[in-house]
Amino acid sequence: MSSMNERYEAKSIEPRWQARWDEAGVFRAGRRPGAEKRYVLEMFPYPSGAMHMGHARVYTIGDALARYLRMQGYDVLHPMGFDALGLPAENAALKDGRHPAERTRENIEAFRREMKRVGFSFDWSREFATCDPGYYRWNQWFFLKMLERDIVYRRTGKANWCTGCLTVLANEQVVEDRRCERCGSPVVEKVIPEWAFRITAYADDLLAGLDGLVDWPERVTTMQRNWIGRSEGAEVDFALPGSPDKVRIFTTRVDTIFGCTYVVLAPEHPLVPKITAPERRREVEAFVERMKSVDAAERTGEGAVKEGVFTGAHALNPFNGEKLPVWIANFVLAEYGTGAVMSVPAHDQRDFEFARKYAIPIRVVIQPKERSRLPAGDGLDKAFTEDGVLEDSGGFSGLASADARLRMAAWARERGVGEPFVRYHLRDWGFSRQRYWGTPIPIVYCEAHGAVPVPEAELPVLLPPQAIITGTGEPPLAKVPEFVNTTCPKCGGPAKRETETMDTFVDSSWYYARYLSPHDERVPFAQDLARRWLPVDVYVGGPEHAVMHLLYFRFWHRVMEQLGMVFESEPCKRLVTQGIVNGPDGRKMSKRWGNVVTPGPIIDQFGADTMRMFMLFASPPEKDIDWSDEQVEGLFRFLSRVWRIFYARRDTFAVPDSALAGAAGAFLELRRRTHRTIKKVTEGMQGELKFNTSIAALMELVNDLYQLEPASDADRAAVREALLALATLLAPFAPHLAEELWHEVLGPASRELLLAECPWPAFDPALVAADSVTIAVQVNGKLRGEVQVSVAAAENEVRALAEREERVRAHLAGKTVRKVIFVPKRLINFVVG
RNA sequence: GGGCGGGUGGCGGAACUGGCAGACGCGCCGGACUUAGGAUCCGGUGCCGCAAGGCAUGAGGGUUCGAGUCCCUCCCCGCCCACCA
């Protein structure tokens, strides 16, 4: 007989099993070389301070999956590391002067300690931090490889400059109202040289790859599609009479070009000063000046008023030779397209409003296909922007829009006045950062040879320990002469190092591959391991990374594919984006609201298993949840209830399985319930992750157990079977408790085993299939009773039974049955009139 | 303006290919045990109604024997993108 205690004491159970798992090394990847692999990955944390509930949730979701897959017999890789370079550590250093390295190391320690307390099944032997030179040296190595292949280049142009972080940002890091994704400060344009990845060269590839990502949430692939923003159109040249220059415009609606009644340039367009008529000059210059001083967000943001001025110049529509006025206006952006648009007020709402305001003619050239004809331009109350059939469009009249677009672009190419053109919203990824706590860019500037790459053999270029963190916007590394002054690898002459560092999104772009050989000093990761483990099977993380990390990481994987390092184009098959854990008040957890709950105290009070159960039971993984103390207590209550039923039925532990065959009546029903539960939980772990309903099924099984008092050995065997299934099915969700109870049931015989790597239970199909069912009886679609029949019952049998039901009889009385609908195993419906 | 999600009891959420709406949990109500219970166990709990019954899945229409689920019109909420030419 078991010597188990009456009370559930998470605190005494959890550390014990954590130690056992650790000693036995059950979470090491590669323990089952003959088995199929599964790579389960959660986005690694940036270790700022301690772990919060958001982390607890992602890792709990991933861990439940990893534990399940391990029990299914897969060789599971489930690693963890730290995204340790980046601005917060440096910004904090500005305040208290502590070295980012020191602070980061401490935070990592704290983080790791907390994660270990939750008992996540990570293969800790593979842990690394991106601030280790052993990691970032490979960032530098990739940089060199990409430089050789022209995927990295140096450019000078308008870069996004964060006025808070005092560094350049990538386009993706600029969020609404042109603010910094990280600190929220305004982002301004600054002309500055920077290093960039030619991600735009991969735009079509990245776009096409999205179609294959069927196990990614659609909203993420849609966001990427929109971000890449491929638009097919044409570029067309409008000649300027009396000038050798031409205005090149980009349009997606070349089919409307015969309706073009004016041309608009961005105020910054280089032709503006050249073409402006002398009598318009003052007004135009004043407008341009004013636009310069207006913030970009204000100029193009929501509710901005369309305004512009006429330059006095004219341009010729190459399709019909028409002479059109050239305007400049605030809504045309120099950085999009060619910085010039052809305006077709009848078929573009923005052009329509502008034309109305400045009394420019409106000419209809597209008619709707099916609806009634549009009135002449002056009679329109808004632009007709859909496709239709062309009219008043020379030789193209009568064509459908889509067809016309192709022919007109081809026509333009033949005449040398334009060509079909594909444009993307995606910009190249500028990754230089004027900060200290990042990967040094391995470049040396020499008077004689310019920018010279640091030879591979000299990597890593180490971050100097004596960081001077100034917060001035000058690269801090520039202030460390020992770092800056070096010799040219080509000529040996005096040279200066690049003092900018890499965007930390570089670190997270390939870390998943580094887990394959985290300590390898010869290569970023070994090829044979890439064959074994990649791609990632399931990746769990927040949807906020939909465009940024998840785009960069797909880009990087393609580059690695080109380098022959990986053997598929996509880094990860399936993506799970988990929702936010809000405060109990439904608001985002924040010090400001005083609604922050952290894992530590919750684990102290209830144990890690209770916290995990809450994370999984509260809702499906994708949805946001509100922290709820009551709900958490409810889960603690459930685990205690599980514990107590094991304790109360400890006399069943020693009953032999052979007695199972004798189970009858309520205990046969229990066996059915047990096997149905196995089926339900197993299904919940596959496909859509339904942890919440899986746990609900376990609760039902427990509720059933409480209703039964076993009297015979057959009864006890059925109870024991249920308890064993319960412990096993609980293992992915509440692993410590599951392990403890499982060993209690099995006794000394199980001493050498760990539930964490035992096989997942199978259900007996014969027990899952019910032999009798409840059939709903409806009269005219309304429920009037129910009957118990065998699953095989035929319609006439069910009908006869149903007609005997009193309430059914009452509703059938005096009516004619016109029709009977019978759905086997579900319902019978009498249609009467 | 565009795209993608959502809208079901007091709350979190269930509901397979159209087939008994509300599983499971929280909360609440009642009972048992108890010196006591905020522990535990048992029972109840969508709304109206004494009941029979009626009404209920954002609103309104439709298809169907039957609609949370399918179709149409509309409203609201969340997220992402956005004067993108």
pLDDT at A300: 57
pLDDT at A554 over 80: yes
pLDDT at A105: 93
Nearest Cα to Cα of residue A349 among A391, A322, A382, A375: A382
Mean pLDDT score, A352-365? 90
A632 CA to B40 C1' distance (Å)? 18
Distances (CA, A) of A322 to A257, A398, A599: 11, 21, 70
The mean of the pLDDT values for chain A is 90
pLDDT at A297: 53
Amino acid at site A279:
E
A333 CA to B83 C1' distance (Å)? 9
Give the nucleotide with minimal C1' distance to the Cα of A250.
B85
Q: List pLDDT tens digits, range A568-612.
A: 999 999 999 988 888 888 888 887 778 888 999 999 999 999 999
A577 CA to B77 C1' distance (Å)? 20
pLDDT at A779: 86
Which of these ranges, A10-24, A440-454, A714-728, A774-788, has the smallest mean pLDDT? A774-788
Q: Which nucleotides of B are covered by protein (CB under 7 A)?
A: 2-5, 12-16, 19-21, 23-27, 39-43, 52-54, 65-67, 78-85
Give the nucleotide with minimal C1' distance to the Cα of A705.
B41
DSSP string, A107-174: HHHHHHHHHHHHT----GGG--BTTSHHHHHHHHHHHHHHHHTTSEEEEEEEEEEETTTTEEE-GGGE
Give the nucleotide with minimal C1' distance to the Cα of A831.
B65
Work out the angle between the directed axes of helices A666-685 and A691-707 (0-180°, nearest 10). 170
A561 CA to B83 C1' distance (Å)? 39
Gap between the Cα atoms of A827 and A831, Å rounded:
13
Which of these ranges, A235-244, A289-298, A816-825, has the smallest mean pLDDT? A289-298
Q: Which two tokens stand for residue A595?
A: 């609604």
Give the nucleotide with minimal C1' distance to the Cα of A342.
B85
pLDDT at A130 over 70: yes
Q: Which two tokens stand for residue A112?
A: 């790791």
A821 CA to B70 C1' distance (Å)? 20
Report the largest interatomic distance among the alpha carbons of chain A, rounded to a whole angstrom: 109
Rg (CA), chain A: 34
Distances (CA, A) of A372 to A150, A368, A375, A380: 54, 7, 9, 13
A346 CA to B62 C1' distance (Å)? 37
Give the nucleotide with minimal C1' distance to the Cα of A638.
B25
Identify whether the C-beta of residue A251 lies closer than 8 Å to the C-beta of residue A236. yes
Name the protein residue, with chain letter, whose CA is nearest the C1' of B67. Answer: A781
pLDDT at A722 over 70: yes
Mean pLDDT score, A480-508? 93
Q: How confident is the model at residue A765 (pLDDT cuts 50, 70, 90)?
A: very high
Gap between the Cα atoms of A418 and A213, Å rounded:
36
DSSP-assigned letter for residue A113: H
pLDDT at A615: 94
Gap between the Cα atoms of A779 and A324, Å rounded:
74
Give the nucleotide with minimal C1' distance to the Cα of A337.
B85
Q: How confident is the model at residue A743 (pLDDT cuts 50, 70, 90)?
A: very high
Half-sphere exposure of A703 (CA within 13 A, CB side): 7
pLDDT at A729: 97
pLDDT at A562 over 90: yes
pLDDT at A299: 61
User: Model pTM?
Assistant: 0.91
Angle (CA) A465-A470-A472 rounded to 5° is: 140
Q: List pLDDT tens digits, range A602-637.
A: 999 999 999 999 999 999 998 888 899 999 999 999
Q: How confident is the model at residue A303 (pLDDT cuts 50, 70, 90)?
A: low
Q: How confident is the model at residue A302 (pLDDT cuts 50, 70, 90)?
A: very low
pLDDT at A824: 82
Gap between the Cα atoms of A515 and A525, Å rounded:
8
Gap between the Cα atoms of A287 and A152, Å rounded:
38
A784 CA to B61 C1' distance (Å)? 28
